[in-house]
Chain A
Amino acid sequence: MTAPAIEINDLHKHYGAFHAVDGLNLRVSQGDVYGFLGPNGAGKSTTIRMMLSLIRPTSGTIKLFGLDLHNNRNEILRRIGAIVERPDFYNYLTARRNLELLGRLSGADVSTRSIDHILGIVGLASRASSKVKTFSHGMKQRLGIAQALLHSPDLIVLDEPTTGLDPQGMVDIRDLILELAADHKKTVFLSSHILPEVELTASRMVIINRGKAVVEGAVQDLLNAGRLKVTIETTEVTRALEIIRATPLTHHIQSHTDDKIIMMMERDEIAGIVAHLSAANIPLSAVSPVRSLEEYFIALTQEAP
């Protein structure tokens, strides 16, 4: 059986009385695109820094590819490519020179040809000879992705990889993540604030808050769980409200306007409501169930103690 790409057990990081990470457990299978979500200050970056041995855990264990990070640091890091928060580089060097030096330190045989190839993938081929100090934030972000892929790692850790990118850049990176997982069998650990990004790319995800995992599972399962926000559009709101209130279903009306009712309900209750409204000849122009990760995320992180 293949060892998990990431296995974190009871991980803690304390700064005095403040617990940045507080008993976190994680398990990421090889080949997964794994979303790592949490509000600001939830402990995401601290966890990533501990996974990359940038900071030392107060307690707990981190295993990558079945190897203990503390005892096998170099062997593990040889198999990881990462962007941690801001993409910072040696500004006085060119993009190509930065990658050459980082490639040498990665312990892989990184040729000039492969550097140029990777710069092409991230759309920086024409700026390979420009000094990084002339780059915009988005270009540095692309270069950050290039350096993470440089030595063909098995696990790619991306901390907010699309920050600062234009819409096309975001789509490109999203496609690249999917391609890395599907075609190259890479494991991608994706920390992001842009929730649709995780929704569109990750197969599994964890939401952490205050240093603890709040929920973990397959993205689609988590999206389908719980109640949905449903918007019903009609020209007869008053009558529709009367009918809805009279039904025995467990709905909850959140708000309404002259032509719209917004309510929370279980997914399997939608058909029943629509049937009741249709039977009463209420003209429906739209019934839109919305179950976004964004709402789920906010609900969970607000519920957490």
Chain B
Amino acid sequence: MIGTAYRVEMSKVFSKWRTFIGFIAIGALIPVVVAAMGIEGGQYLGFATQALQQTFDFTGNLMNGYTVSYIIFGMLYVHVPFLVTLVAGEILAGEATAGTYRLLLTRPLSRGTMVTAKFLATLTYTNMLVIFMAALSLGLGVSLLGTGEVVVIRSQITIIAENDLWWRFALAYGFAAMSMTTVASVAFMFSSLVENAIGPIMTTMAIIIVMTIVSAIDIPMFDFVRPLFFTNHMNGWKFLFDDPVNWTKVYTSAGVLLTHIAGCFVATQIIMRRKDILS
């Protein structure tokens, strides 16, 4: 029954206009970014490495497809969570708004099955969005700007060789999918509490903003809670571009994100099992 319920949910998700907003936004944004990087990327990279160029000589195709993909990765934080919540925040609340819980929950499928099917549909959408972003940025970047090394400037400078990049990108996109799944899970949980999709979308975005602000404020009293915020672990993919990779940090961040995902899923199951359908 879970398979049937999942297919029905996917069918509903991909019959809605809002589902395609994310793909359209990413599909419009990435070509613009890649084209801009192709035209003016040299200046961008020159500015970023200005101090280093006084000491080192940079040669080769540094503004290549991989570098562009790496930069686009950093944008995940900014707009993809919003695109994810458009669907995740609506998937349960939308049934309440439309009054269709009554149709759905008078069918011979348990509430647990219904919630699981909707959660899997949300995960599928979220991962499709991340995969689409990965394929478009890497595909377009490499085909327009070619390949080369990636210069990673963090607390240290790391130049990653071309043949050492693919597995990092694969794991990084996997990690990004997990980060976005966390955002989707939070929106999904809030979606079970209300009867209007705007609420979960706004609440999730507000939580991301508040957590980001609290994390940025260097006050000791926040030191205890800061490591628990999922927003502090969403950019854990960056550790995969260190050399050597700090696996402990990667695992810790992944653990925090997975805990949030599992927590939100279990909370949603409990909320929905106890919920009286009055809409």
Contact = CB atoms under 8 A, between A and B. Distances in A.
Interface of A: 49, 52-56, 73-78, 80, 82, 84-86, 88-93, 97, 101-102, 104-107, 147
Given A104-B4, A105-B4, A78 B105 contact: no
Contacts of A84: 102, 106
Nearest to A107: B108
Contacts of B24: none
A84 B106 CA distance: 9
B106 A82 contact: yes
B57 interface: no
Q: Chain A's interface: helix, strand, loop or mixed, by majority?
A: loop
A80 to B, nearest CB: 7
B5 interface: yes
Contacts of B276: 49, 54-56
Contact of A49 (B12, B99, B108, B277): B277
Of the listed residues A74, A85, A86, A101, the one surrounded by the most CB atoms of chain B closer than 10 A to its CB is A101
Contacts of B246: none
Interface string B201-222: 0000000000000000000000
A106 to B, nearest CB: 6
Interface residues of B, number: 27
Interface of B: 1, 4-5, 7-8, 11-12, 15-17, 98-110, 274, 276-278
Contacts of B16: 92
A130 to B, nearest CB: 15
30 contacts: A49-B278, A52-B106, A53-B105, A54-B101, A54-B106, A55-B276, A55-B278, A74-B109, A77-B106, A77-B107, A78-B108, A80-B106, A85-B102, A88-B99, A88-B102, A89-B98, A90-B12, A90-B100, A91-B98, A92-B15, A92-B16, A97-B15, A101-B8, A101-B11, A101-B12, A102-B107, A105-B104, A105-B108, A106-B107, A107-B108
A147 B109 contact: no
Nearest to B17: A92
Contacts of B15: 90, 92-93, 97
A73 B108 CA distance: 7
